[in-house]
Amino acid sequence: MKMEKITALIVDDEKLARRAIRGLLESDAEIEIVGEAPDGAAALEAVQQSHPQLMFLDVQMPLINGVELLRQLPAAQRPVVIFVTSFDEYAIKAFELHAIDYLVKPFSDARFLQALERAKAHVRGATLAGTERALTQLLQHFKITPNAPADGTPPKASATGRLVVKVDGELHFVEQRDIRWIEGQGDFVKIHTRTGRLLSRVTMLHLLTQLDSACFLRIHKSNIVNLASMRRVKPILSRSLGVELDDGTVVPVGRNYRPVLEQHFN
């Protein structure tokens, strides 16, 4: 018996992005593209006319963004959604609003196909009730409430919570208590955990807004340490200080940050 094709709608305000997604979808015999939309208003009309089973949805669009588009669609009309975004902070909001997956630009063909296969399996076999249960469990697991801010701002993590970081186009959920220290490297940060290292393109300032300020301290323009991992503060080189961590690593203290360190322990 021949399997019916899964209908898909592409929503993105960038023509090149729509073309790239179309090219990848056209190579899949199980997919039928029923339309493209350059903005949220056109997407609303397209969904109501063609009733797609799957939608690739850009987050940042003029007038009506992807999040608002989903809010305006009745639950019964929402297709399975894969968010396409340049902003990883929208990832949790994507799960909350029934997105089956998300692609962070720029994404590889392999990552796209992974998301597509997941979406196809969901369209073929999952139920709406099953989706709701899975999303509820996910939100509870990461302690994210369904009433989180609608603007996509990520909730601040706690010391017992998780830090969400993007690595090679994928999101990693890192237990804050497992982080020893964080090292700034230009446009990237290297997060040193108890089991390894993660390199993510994010600013130190952004990370500071996510970390528990009672547990992490910035001791250098390029270094943040977990206070629970500190073993001692000791002199290094000439008139410089370093923080020795519980694994023997010595992290330098910036001259301008010495008062912050002293004030904290005083």
86 and 205 assigned to the same domain: no
CA-closest candidate to residue 211, choices 256, 234, 178: 178
Q: Are residues 188 and 133 in the same domain?
A: no
Same domain, 10 and 135: yes
Higher pLDDT, 172 or 140: 172
In a domain, 151, yes or no: no
- Residue 239 in any domain: the answer is yes
Distance separating alpha carbons of residues 3 and 172, to the nearest angstrom = 35
Instruction: Give the CB-side neighbour count of residue 7, counting CA atoms within 13 A.
Output: 12
For the segment 175-208, what is each residue's pLDDT rounded down to a tens digit? 899 999 999 988 889 999 999 999 988 888 878 8
Which residues is 14 bridged to in the sheet? none
- Please indicate, yes or no, if residue 1 is contained in any of the structural domains: no
Residues 135 and 181 in one domain: no
Same domain, 132 and 166: no
What is the domain-level CATH number for residue 200?
Answer: 2.40.50.1020
Higher pLDDT, 139 or 212: 212
141, 170, 194: which is the final residue of a domain?
A: 141
Q: Domain check: are 72 and 166 in the same one?
A: no
For 93-122, write each residue's pLDDT tens digit. 666 566 788 888 888 899 999 999 989 988
Q: How many domains are contained in the chain?
A: 2
User: Is 109 a member of any domain?
Assistant: yes
- 30 and 137 share one domain: yes
197: containing domain: 162-265
Q: What is the mean pLDDT of the chain?
A: 80
**Are both 102 and 228 inside the same structural domain?**
no
**pLDDT score recorded for residue 22:** 95
In a domain, 149, yes or no: no
Same-domain status, 209 and 253? yes
Assessment of whether the complete model's pTM goes beyond 0.85: no
Q: Are both 40 and 123 inside the same structural domain?
A: yes
C-alpha–C-alpha distance, residues 124 and 163, integer Å: 33
Residue pLDDT, tens place only, 124-142: 875 445 544 544 444 444 4
> Are residues 120 and 176 part of one domain?
no
Residue 94 and residue 59 share a domain: yes
Task: Give me the amino acid identity at 62.
Answer: P
